[in-house]
Structure 1
Amino acid sequence: MAQDTTLRHRDSHSTTGNGSGWSTRRIAVTALFCAVSACATLFLEFPILPGVEWLKYDPSGAIALVAGFAFGPATGAAVSVLPYLVHLATQSGVYGMLMAVLATLSLVLPASLVYRRDTTRRGAVLGMVVGAVVCLAACILGNLVVTPLYSGMPVQAVVALIVPALLPFNLIKIAINCVLAYLVYKPVSKALGN
């Protein structure tokens, strides 16, 4: 009996078995997604809305969304958090990291949870719509809290930026991430043998 319990415990944490733990392959693929996402957030970042150059887009959110669709919400969450730790060593620092994690996680988790229940294109679109709504709300609320800390702006100044800057920027960013993910998630998933 004790041996059966030990075997089950070992198998559930195995990196090579097919238990409920993460396989070595899944860990390696997650690390690959994290590396690509970290490179995207460091080197492919650019402003997309004139007048607010401090709001920058990078495709790391699309990469995390593909990871969540291809390998599930846990992988999507890992790719939504780990790559952004590089922001701690950049000018955006801890506040940039917090906003990047909030924006990506709030899109990827709802979308991949919905997609896990319905793994069709319809499920993917529905997941992205749900994720987009959650992400938009999270980004606006996050900006109301984080932007005053980061920039020293009063909250009223941030509120004044919601309609002319924050709302359109986040809508554009979410739309680009969803379109990119929709176009590549099936080919990437097939290429990775999932």
Structure 2
Amino acid sequence: MNNLVKHNDTGSDAKDRIETFTIVKISILAATAALLMLFEIPVFFTPGFYKLDFSEVAVLLGAFSMGPVAGIVIEAVKILLNFVIDGSMTAGIGELANFLMGCSFVVPAAVIYKRNKTRKGAIMGLTAGTVVMVIFSAFMNLYVLLPVYAAAFKMPIDAIVQMGTKVNSAIKDIYTLVLFATVPFNILKGFLSSLITVLIYKKLSPVLHR
């Protein structure tokens, strides 16, 4: 009987350690993602308010190693940490949109990879995630983000469009702004984040799966 109790206690302790380590990994990856959000890179073919960061790489690492739910949690914590740093009203709108668009990228990628944990499965998942993010971000910018930002800053949509026209003469209205700025920006973001993830995931996999 004593041996049985001891065995059960050991199993419980092992489960607790696994759960604790999972929380630690999620926290570290979320903090890393939040830090990566601070390093924004302007993109020459888009207006200045579109800036590239590689925070989704850390989220993808967590989602691939711990599943899509962990990816959503890491994305949420990342956004909350970033909101604490930049907690203005417009930042709140932007962070909510970033969360939704981040999930639209990470979740499809993680779901497909979970079913096929090979390099091919990872590439298929990342490609699908990029496509979903590009489509979702286009609709979000067209019908939500750009109108909300225009209202928040009390400026007409045309003023935002003109910011795009300065870098690309083909941008003439909100639709061409999304087509020639939002869409290629998110294609670039998805491609680079996917490339980095594929290159480093296997090297970090032993640590992530410990």
Q: Where on the TM-score scale, by shorter chain, does this alignment land: which range?
A: 0.7 to 0.9
Query: 3-state SS of the aligned residue for 1:54?
Result: coil
1:7 matched to which residue of 2?
Answer: none
1:75 matched to which residue of 2?
Answer: 70
Q: Kindly tell me: are residues 97 and 37 of structure 1, through their superposed partners in 2, closer, same or farther at Cα, counting changes over 3 Å?
A: same
Are 2:183 and 1:167 equivalent residues in the alignment?
Answer: yes
Distance (whole Å) between structure 2 residues aligned to residue 115 and residue 36 of structure 1: 22
Are 2:125 and 1:130 equivalent residues in the alignment?
Answer: no
Distance (whole Å) between structure 2 residues aligned to residue 51 and residue 76 of structure 1: 28
Distance (whole Å) between structure 2 residues aligned to residue 24 and residue 18 of structure 1: 9
Percent identical across equivalent pairs? 28
CA RMSD in angstroms, aligned pairs only: 2.3
Judge conservation of contact 1:49–1:55 (CA < 8 Å) in 2.
Answer: no
1:148 matched to which residue of 2?
Answer: 147
Q: Pick the structure with greater CA Rg.
A: 2
CA shift for structure 1 position 179: 0.6
1:183 matched to which residue of 2?
Answer: 199
The answer to which structure, 1 or 2, has the higher relative contact order (CA under 8 A, 6+ apart) is 2
1:139 matched to which residue of 2?
Answer: 137
Query: 3-state SS of the aligned residue for 2:117?
Result: coil
CA deviation profile, 1:60-79 (whole Å, cap 9, x unmatched):
11111111111111111111
Judge conservation of contact 1:87–1:96 (CA < 8 Å) in 2.
Answer: no
CA shift for structure 1 position 56: 0.7
CA shift for structure 1 position 192: 3.1
CA shift for structure 1 position 129: 1.3
Distance (whole Å) between structure 2 residues aligned to residue 94 and residue 88 of structure 1: 10
1:64 corresponds, among 45, 59, 63, to 59
Judge conservation of contact 1:37–1:63 (CA < 8 Å) in 2.
Answer: yes
CA shift for structure 1 position 88: 5.5
1:93 matched to which residue of 2?
Answer: 91
Q: Kindly tell me: are residues 84 and 73 of structure 1, through their superposed partners in 2, closer, same or farther at Cα, counting changes over 3 Å?
A: same
Give structure 2 stretches of 5+ with no counterpart.
Answer: 1-11, 162-172
CA shift for structure 1 position 175: 0.7
Q: TM-score, normalised by structure 2?
A: 0.77
Query: 3-state SS of the aligned residue for 2:48?
Result: coil
Question: Which runs of at least 4 in structure 1 moved beyond 6 Å after TM superposition?
Answer: none
Q: TM-score, normalised by structure 1?
A: 0.83
Give structure 1 stretches of 5+ with no counterpart.
Answer: 1-13
Distance (whole Å) between structure 2 residues aligned to residue 51 and residue 114 of structure 1: 31
Judge conservation of contact 1:111–1:130 (CA < 8 Å) in 2.
Answer: yes
Query: 3-state SS of the aligned residue for 2:15?
Result: coil
2:168 matched to which residue of 1?
Answer: none
Are 2:39 and 1:39 equivalent residues in the alignment?
Answer: no
